[in-house]
Copies of this chain bind each other. A is one copy, B any other.
Amino acid sequence: MLKNCIVAQSGGPTAAINASLAGVIRGIQESEEYDRIYGALHGIHGVFREEFLDLTAMREADRRLLWHTPASYLGSCRYKMPDMEQQPEVYEQIFRIFEKYQIGAFFYIGGNDSMDTVEKLARYGEAVHSPIRFAGVPKTIDNDLMSTDHTPGFGSAAKYIATTMLEIAHDTAVYKVPCVTIVEIMGRDAGWLTAASALARNSYNQTPQLIYLPEVPFRKEQFTRDLKKKLQENEDVVVAVSEGIRDEKGEYISSATAAADRFGHAQLSGTGKALENFVRGEFGIKVRSVELNILQRCAAHLVSRQDLTEAEELGQEAVTFTRQGKTGFMTVIHRLSDEPYRYKIQTVSLDQVANAARTVPRNWINEEGNDVTEEMMRYLRPLVQGEVQTDFQNGIPVYLDISHLTGFTE
């Protein structure tokens, strides 16, 4: 009788990944079919090491606090599963542990690389005729997962970016001198997050005046012309750029040497700084760069209620689908309409998701390649709606205790 579950989180943290965890926990707690919930610490590593946090009896108050606690409550990892043909012993070990803990379902909340892990486990499970069900729950602020309208974590990051951009618009408007501000936003290959900065525009400000995404080659000559034109219209110009913008040869604009992580992804930084130096050299005016950095993915004090609601649903529904006998799937959001915003939760087979990235369609970027179109705005608007009240104690937000990760207790 396989009645227990494992849930784990993997990849870069977001402000919504714990809402999905809360959804999985709730789904399991409310089911009659499943018994214990083991939270594996640090992704699949926690399974190998049998490091589990027993979440079975998590109280509702804690689950609510977990819902809007930033980053991965269970910790994370960046681990690429070997091919099962080459290293079957890795899979044998994991499945022995599954058996030991009487695991009936495995839930993995993560992005592209994490879905690769679930997909491989599901495939091995199928090969050995295991009854265990494997489910992926999407997350990534980058919004680059295939087969889903958008990904949990993106809406909250988008709201943070747009809010910050509006506040930067107020800040940069104060001096009456020509001034350029470069805001560097996350996004290696996909410009979704940078596009979201356009949500800051309102009746009294057009910030950011220029937007550059990785989907269109970045030409310094064009940028110089764009900037010259905007500086004629406004004294201060704010430019939103993705960290991953590249020139026509495909080389990163970033001035820093790009090192590669273990998945072969380039580790970028310094795109904003590189453009800052370029503008200073070309224009000789006041220029500053601001890198939103990890703040855009962990600012739980400013999240989208819509985002967290969907994140929870994707987790909870993953449990429902496994109870219906499904395996080897990821839950996804299928949009039915923009306005009023309607969607439904579905599943897709994991082999349609893993190891591919969804970029911004070219026709959602304007012809000049320096702004986004109204289609993009219609897509973005529903995703940042609604706020979540953060509780404060002594002026500082209250989040769920992560002493199991920090190793510190007072």
Interface residues of A in 15-65 (CB under 8 A from B): 41-42, 45
Contact A385 B395 (CB under 8 A): yes
User: Which partner residue on chain B sits nearest A294 by CB separation?
Assistant: B171
Q: Which residues of B contact A326 (CB under 8 A)?
A: none
Contact A170 B402 (CB under 8 A): yes
Contact B298 A406 (CB under 8 A): no
Contact A168 B294 (CB under 8 A): yes
Q: Which residues of B contact A175 (CB under 8 A)?
A: 42, 75-78
Knowing A70-B167, A163-B396, A200-B396, say if A205 contacts B408 (CB, 8 Å). yes
Knowing A174-B76, A293-B291, A407-B234, say if A397 contacts B166 (CB, 8 Å). yes
Number of copies: 2
Q: Which residues of B contact A265 (CB under 8 A)?
A: none
Q: Which residues of B contact A293 (CB under 8 A)?
A: 288, 290-291
Contact B290 A203 (CB under 8 A): no
Q: Which residues of B contact A407 (CB under 8 A)?
A: 234-235
A102 within 8 A of partner (CB): no
**Looking at the complex, which one of B45, B176, B384 makes contact with A396 (CB distance below 8 Å)?**
B384
Knowing A167-B301, A302-B302, say if A173 contacts B394 (CB, 8 Å). no
A399 within 8 A of partner (CB): yes
Q: Which residues of B contact A304 (CB under 8 A)?
A: 395
Q: Which residues of B contact A13 (CB under 8 A)?
A: 170-171, 174
Binding site for B on A (CB under 8 A): 9, 13, 41-42, 45, 69-72, 75-78, 159, 162-164, 166-171, 173-176, 199-200, 202-206, 234-235, 288, 290-295, 297-302, 304, 306, 381, 384-387, 392, 394-397, 399, 401-403, 405-410
Sample of 9 more A-B contacts, CB < 8 Å, known A9-B174, A170-B300, A203-B409? A75-B174, A162-B396, A167-B298, A168-B295, A204-B403, A206-B406, A206-B408, A234-B406, A290-B291
